[in-house]
Amino acid sequence: MIELHTDQEVAEMAAAGEFVSSTLQTLKSSAVVGTDLLELDALAHDLIRRRGAESCYLDYAPSFGTGPFGYVLCTSVNDAVLHGKPHSYRLRDGDLLSLDFAATVDGWVADSALSMVVGTAGADDLELIELTERALEAGIAAAVPGNKTGDISYAIGNIAREAGLSVNLEFGGHGVGRTMHGDPHIPNAGRPGRGFPLKPGLVLAIEPWFMRGTDKLRVDPDGWTLRSADGSRGAHSEHTIAVTKDQPIVLTRNRATGGPAA
Edge to edge, what strands does the sheet with 226-228 contain? 80-82, 226-228, 217-219
Distance between CA atoms of residues 92 and 95, nearest Å: 6
The secondary structure of residue 198, as a DSSP letter, is P
Assess contact for 112 and 261: CB atoms under 8 A: yes
Q: Residue 100: enclosing H or E segment and its boundaries? A: strand 96-105
Distance between CA atoms of residues 135 and 238, nearest Å: 10
Hey, what amino acid is at 28?
A: K
Distance between CA atoms of residues 242 and 3, nearest Å: 12
Residue 100 annotated as part of some ligand binding site: yes
Assess contact for 130 and 122: CB atoms under 8 A: no
Residue 45 annotated as part of some ligand binding site: no
Looking at the chain, how many residues does it have?
Answer: 262
Distance between CA atoms of residues 258 and 106, nearest Å: 24
The gap between the terminal CA atoms of the chain, to the nearest Å, is 31
| Residue stretches of the annotated binding site | 83, 100, 111, 174, 181, 207, 238
| Residue stretches of the annotated binding site for a divalent metal cation | 100, 111, 174, 207, 238
| Residue stretches of the annotated binding site for substrate | 83, 181
